[in-house]
C-alpha cells in the first residue's frame, strides 16, 4: 500500500442520541470529544441519530419521538378544526 493516502482507521465509540446506547467499533471518523469505555480506555465519541437500539426494523417496535401527528400539525398550522 502507498503511504499517507489511506485514512486513519481507529476504534471509536458511537452513541445513540435518542437512547444513549453506546457501542465500540472501528471507523475513520474522528472527534475531539472522548469518553471512557468499559475496558478503561478513552475513545473518540461520534453521536448518531439512529442505531440498532432505536431503529424499528431492529427493535421490532415503534418508538415515537413526535407527539403530534401530521394531520394534527397541518390543522394547527392552517387553523382548521
pLDDT at 34 > cutoff 70? yes
Where do the domains of the chain lie? Answer: 1-62
- Report the pLDDT value the prediction gives residue 67, as an integer from 0 to 100: 56
Any idea which residue has 426494523 for its cell? 57
Q: Which of the residue ranges 9-23, 32-46, 66-80 would you say has the lowest mean pLDDT?
A: 66-80
Q: The cell 403530534 sits on which residue? A: 68
| DSSP 8-class letter at 70 | H
Write the class of the CATH domain 1-62.
Answer: few secondary structures
- Its pTM stands at 0.64
3-state secondary structure 3-66: CCCCCCCEEEEEEECCCCCEEEEEECCCCCCEEECCCCCEEEEEEECCCCCCCHHHHCCCCCCC
φ and ψ at residue 27, rounded to 5 degrees:
-160, 160
pLDDT of residue 66: 56
pLDDT band at 10 (very low <50, low <70, confident <90, very high): very high
Amino acid at each position: 500500500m502507498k503511504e499517507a493516502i489511506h485514512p486513519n482507521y481507529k476504534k471509536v465509540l458511537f452513541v445513540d442520541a435518542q437512547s444513549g446506547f453506546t457501542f465500540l467499533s472501528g471507523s475513520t471518523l474522528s472527534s475531539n470529544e472522548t469518553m471512557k469505555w468499559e475496558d478503561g480506555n478513552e475513545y473518540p465519541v461520534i453521536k448518531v441519530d439512529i442505531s440498532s437500539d432505536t431503529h424499528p426494523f431492529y427493535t421490532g417496535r415503534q418508538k415515537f419521538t413526535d407527539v403530534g401527528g401530521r394531520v394534527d400539525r397541518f390543522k394547527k398550522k392552517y387553523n382548521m378544526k
